Structure 1
Amino acid sequence: MRRTSEQLIQELSKIVDSHFAHAVVECYVEMQQRFLAGDWQPTELDGGRFCEAVSRCLLQMDAGKIDHRKLPGEIRKNLLDQSIPHRLGSKDRYHLAKVIEVVYGFRSDRGAVHISTEYTANYMDSMLVLHASKWIFAEFLRLVWNQDRKVVAETIAQIVQLEHSIIHELDGKPLVLARDISATDEVLLLLYHADNNRLSRAELREQAVGQNPQNVSVAIFRLIKNKDIRPIAEDEVALTPNGQKRILEQVLPKYTPQK
């Protein structure tokens, strides 16, 4: 079942406080959208707001208390307090509390020591916050829904779409909305959107509706040569880490309005 962010909020609001449900989903989606659009610098602040919302949900789920002001540090103490009864399992409480502590700490007290000359400090920090927040969100949904990780992963992938969407999907068929886009960029975007980041060459030619099929074939050849994608079983190609980096740093910023 495909879910929009609004549908997910409605489902979560049946289990946790509706304000918490809105805050968790909206903070997470906004953080992911802004990063994908090339606006990664606010990620640490967005991650802090996300952690506040998730922590308050966990407090409600674990102790039955609704508190709109308590911060993650205080909630962490409650979650790890062995002297009080808990509804959530000890391992779930421990791991979530620890990861939230790390992410929330980036909001204000990140050190200034960095060793890479290729990425700025904020970019590296943002990548960590982004991926850790995805783990927190997945674990939160697993607990609140009591669903397996596959269902959770599918849901997360479905709700995160760019605010100024580059790709519109209808009945399972994606359409790249950007005008005057090159065949190379369109192939990369379609692979980035696809399940498991892989498609057959025939699917790419079919989905790149604004491109000449021959241009799509040439684009696939060049992307393979540059190792942005790689050929796999039979007629399929898959996105590589090089290609993903190119999408985040070069392709998305070209076609997404900056805030």
Structure 2
Amino acid sequence: MKNSARKLVAAIACRNNGSRLYGKPLQNLDTINQITILDNIIACLKSLKVIDEIVLAISIGIDNHVFEEYAKKNNIAFIFGDERDVLSRLISCGEFSKATDIFRVTSESPFLYFDEVEEHWNNYIHLNLDALFMDEIIDGCGFEIIKLSALKKSHMQGEIRHRSELCSLYIRENAEQFNIKKVFPPKELIRKDLRLTVDNPEDLVVCRKVYQKFKDSAPRIPILEVVQFLDTQSNLIQLTLPFTESGYNLMYK
């Protein structure tokens, strides 16, 4: 349900540099049909009626101009900003689009747990929250909803580490200054042995297998069914297991 007094904008921070895997957002999930990680993310976001607009928060640098081309080709708004100050890029997205609130997902995580987004957005408004965090879910499937004013306060009062890709870190560390709510997925999606985000070549192998299995449901690929599928594919779970501990240690700082 849309709320005329609020504007919820999905801000997606994009950059191509990556020591483990270059150009993660534009890696293909479907190599035959040339469907990228970012394609599936954006298509899923467009299917959510509560999201009013999508804006790419592109890092400055020649390597990232491909995202400007992508945005123009797909009729998506974009801004450029500092590579390390990811928080400032999200704020710029909000200011550019006149958002009141930011819906945050990452550009290398193709499979969003979309099922409860509308419910949580309505609760977020009803409770007049500054931030709502979907926590403890499989790495790559969660989301955050944060007031633009709370992001601005984080940037003004936080340190350099708070302005990194850990954009909600200041709010999480200073919860007493904000009205926040943490929500959690069904227990079947609290699986610290799984990850559905692409940071390594092995992650990409797994996400391609998942997409191939569920492409008829794309872009709204059902995460519960993905888990059931992966539980029959122990080789895929073992492939990314070396990266799960470090990934989860970073998630909710």
Tell me the TM-score normalised to structure 2 length. 0.29
Computing the radius of gyration from Cα coordinates, the structure with the larger value is: 1
Comparing both chains, which one has the higher relative contact order based on Cα–Cα distances under 8 Å and sequence gaps of 6 or more? 2
Bigger fraction of residues in helix: 1
What is the TM-score normalised by the length of structure 1?
0.29
